[in-house]
Structure 1
Amino acid sequence: MKKEVFGKTPEGTEVNLYTLTNQNGITVQIINYGAIITSIITPDRNGQAGDVVLGFDNLKDYLAEHPYFGAVAGRCANRIAKGKFTLNGKEYTLAINNGPNHLHGGLKGFDKKVWEATEIPTQNALKLTYTSKDGEEGYPGNLTVSVTYTLTNENELKIDYEATTDKATPINLTNHSYFNLAAGQAEDVLNHEVVIYADRYTIVDEDLIPTGELPLVAGTAMDFSVPHTIGSRISQVAGNGYDHNYVLNNSQNGKLGLAAVVHEPQTDRVMEVYTTQPGVQFYSGNFLNGSLTGKGHVYKKHYGFCLETQHFPDSPNQPEFPSAILNPGETFQQSTIYKFSVQKNNLK
């Protein structure tokens, strides 16, 4: 493990860059600002190394506005309708930062905090810890959160989330990395082949809040139960493209299950996603518009995709959804694995 200074916040707080490398030469870099994954370097079928996540090579760009590249979103990832929820008879009002709604923890969510870092070299792991104070962005309870990134010799990047609270609070943590498995060798991700192990998804209204219905994906452009390229039916999706929560088949019991597999045909890189979470938000980079440049690439529309493992959007207001409430005395625990490999054939 390597540690180096990445820069300082406007307040003068030092931010460090941590590099994890496994015995196969895969490298993952993380900063303790926003618990952000800044790069994942993996080989293609010819052994050519390439960076498969979007981001920047300097702190200044991460401090400026960007669409959550690589960050941990929280206290609640995704949207909460009108920024309000009622818990134990009390209504709470959160920061509004996405149209009429609360998104990804508010105006200064976990993605904009400096986390305390602990290196665990014996496990090739980095543990990041943050305490969110009672009332921060409108949330109840002092919440202590840790995110542990582990890079294994099986080419897995494992993300373990843990949290405790002194008051009942909603919590929904995810990593918001944007992937492009072509590593700069393609103009966009529309030729990536995707499988998502989900028979249903959460349909949303015009403000992107779930209606509560969980329609079947079968026979629609939402169906990735067998391999489809991202671009093959994207024109049939309302709005700009995919930005939908899938109800996973394999992790309803809280155990680690296979959520998705992505194959990039030009390089034959493959990424498998495993999670204990009940849902995954599949996002096709619809709002990238070429205004941001990082690591030598212009981030145009559909230049990256996200598979954000999570609880369903607006869970605090949807009693039929899996509960996102953490109570005192309980421990929030979730895990997600991104596993990288190469293969010669398309997904079967």
Structure 2
Amino acid sequence: MATPRILDLTADGLRLELLTAGAAARRLVVDDEDGPADVVLGLADPASYVVDGGYVGAVVGRYGNRIDAGRLVVDGAEHRLTTNQFGNTLHGGADGFDRRDWELLDQGPSHATLGLTSPDGDQGFPGTLTVTVTYRVAPGSVTIEYGAETDAPTVLNLTHHAYFRLDAGATVDEHTLEVPASSFLALRPDLVPTGEVRAVAGTPFDLRTPTVLRDALARDDEQLRIAGGIDHHYVVDGAGMRMAARLVAPSGRWLEVHSDQPGVQVYTGAHFDGTQTGLDGRPLTERAGIALETQGYPDAPHHPDWPSTVLRPGERYATTTQWRLGRD
């Protein structure tokens, strides 16, 4: 495969570097009173994104998060998906959208649109799917617009897998996180939802008020032990475009994630083990960054009472996520 293309988008005080590989965000540089700071994790070798990028910064699909046992039933027809974690389908299967080299469809100084066609049967999913993702930068914000259409009934749950670390350092332990969600999805030991929508009240998962990540992760809780930290879907209160998460670094630099999606997967980066190298030349170690993945419910096809992720011919999948950045 050819070396992925590097795309640069700029706005006053902000620069976003994209790769066609995985439609990934490799750098997000904000320029404030302390000078430029890169607030997302990126990998040193662009070619590694399509080999084994570990989802770092990539657009994930067809189905972000997990589908139990790789079994999918749509309109009574069963489809067997590729499996790639504990016998389940994670982030689209063994060869997900994060490993594809996307086509650049349009680019200007402050926007870029990338596209991908996923054929019928790709990783076992039904229907030929055409997907676009558009990045737009403006002073203090990055907007990500997803679109897709299918020629047969299928399921779709696109998300973005950027890892944020707003200050220089090895971990996000001292960052403060707020998630306006009254409930979350409890997990089985294989990280698939049990089906229980559990109240956050009285648990380490209650992030309705700003909480230092180190403090939340230090608590004794079975769900934290299962995931090696937080790797859970939060059901964000309200509907429509709204704040899904707010992350604040010790420096006062902050990020707000806004989305029209039902929830956000919060993942505190337990898997980083030093085998990947960041753009600063240093290995990425446990909790090097935090992912805030706006999305539909994981394993929704097995839970008909949860918001549907089915997409049908004639329908247009359209969803928007925005990263807002600033400093107190």
TM-score w.r.t. structure 2 length? 0.95
How do 1:188-337 and structure 2 match up within 5 A? 188-235=171-218, 236=220, 237-239=224-226, 240-251=228-239, 255-265=240-250, 267-295=251-279, 296-337=281-322
Give the fraction of aligned pairs with identical amino acids, expressed as a percent: 36
CA distance in 2, matches of 1:120, 1:73: 21
Return the offset for 1:179: 0.8
Asked if structure 2 preserves the Cα contact closer than 8 Å seen for 1:38 and 1:57, the reply is no
CA distance in 2, matches of 1:287, 1:39: 21
1:140 aligns with 2:117: no
CA distance in 2, matches of 1:105, 1:138: 9
1:42 aligns with 2:25: no
CA distance in 1, matches of 2:120, 2:138: 36
SS class of match (2:4): strand
CA distance in 1, matches of 2:66, 2:4: 28
CA distance in 1, matches of 2:253, 2:282: 19
Q: For 1:116-140, what per-residue CA distance to the aligned partner results, in whole angstroms no more than 9, with x for missing partners?
A: 1133427x21001111000010000
1:18 aligns with 2:7: yes
Q: For 1:227-270, what per-residue CA distance to the aligned partner results, in whole angstroms no more than 9, with x for missing partners?
A: 1011102133223100000001133xxx21111111001x2110
Q: For 1:38-87, what per-residue CA distance to the aligned partner results, in whole angstroms no more than 9, with x for missing partners?
A: 1000135x332111111123323323323210001100010000000211
SS class of match (2:313): coil
Asked if structure 2 preserves the Cα contact closer than 8 Å seen for 1:250 and 1:258, the reply is no
Task: State the match for 1:341 in structure 2.
Answer: 326
Task: State the match for 1:111 in structure 2.
Answer: 98
Return the offset for 1:34: 0.7
SS class of match (1:137): helix
CA distance in 2, matches of 1:26, 1:313: 32
CA distance in 1, matches of 2:86, 2:154: 23
Task: State the match for 1:31 in structure 2.
Answer: 19
Return the offset for 1:294: 1.4
CA distance in 1, matches of 2:22, 2:274: 23
CA distance in 2, matches of 1:92, 1:26: 43
- Which residues of structure 2 form unaligned runs of 5+? none
Distance 1:226 1:162, change over 3 A: same
Return the offset for 1:31: 0.8
Letter in 2 for 1:248: V
SS class of match (1:54): coil
Q: For 1:120-173, what per-residue CA distance to the aligned partner results, in whole angstroms no more than 9, with x for missing partners?
A: 427x210011110000100000000000000013x1110000000000000000
Task: State the match for 2:160 in structure 1.
Answer: 175
Q: 1:125 aligns with which of 111, 114, 120?
A: 111
CA distance in 2, matches of 1:247, 1:99: 24
CA distance in 1, matches of 2:117, 2:201: 42
SS class of match (1:118): strand
Task: State the match for 1:346 in structure 2.
Answer: none
Asked if structure 2 preserves the Cα contact closer than 8 Å seen for 1:243 and 1:284, the reply is yes
SS class of match (1:238): helix
Q: 1:65 aligns with which of 48, 52, 55?
A: 52
Return the offset for 1:205: 1.1
CA distance in 2, matches of 1:192, 1:293: 22
SS class of match (2:43): coil
SS class of match (1:35): coil
How do 1:156-167 and structure 2 match up within 5 A? 156-167=141-152
Q: For 1:80-126, what per-residue CA distance to the aligned partner results, in whole angstroms no more than 9, with x for missing partners?
A: 0000021111111000101110010111111011111133427x210
CA distance in 2, matches of 1:116, 1:60: 16
Instruction: Give the ranges of 4+ consecutive aligned residues of structure 1 lying more than 4 Å apart after TM superposition.
Output: none
Return the offset for 1:14: 5.0
Asked if structure 2 preserves the Cα contact closer than 8 Å seen for 1:19 and 1:29, the reply is yes
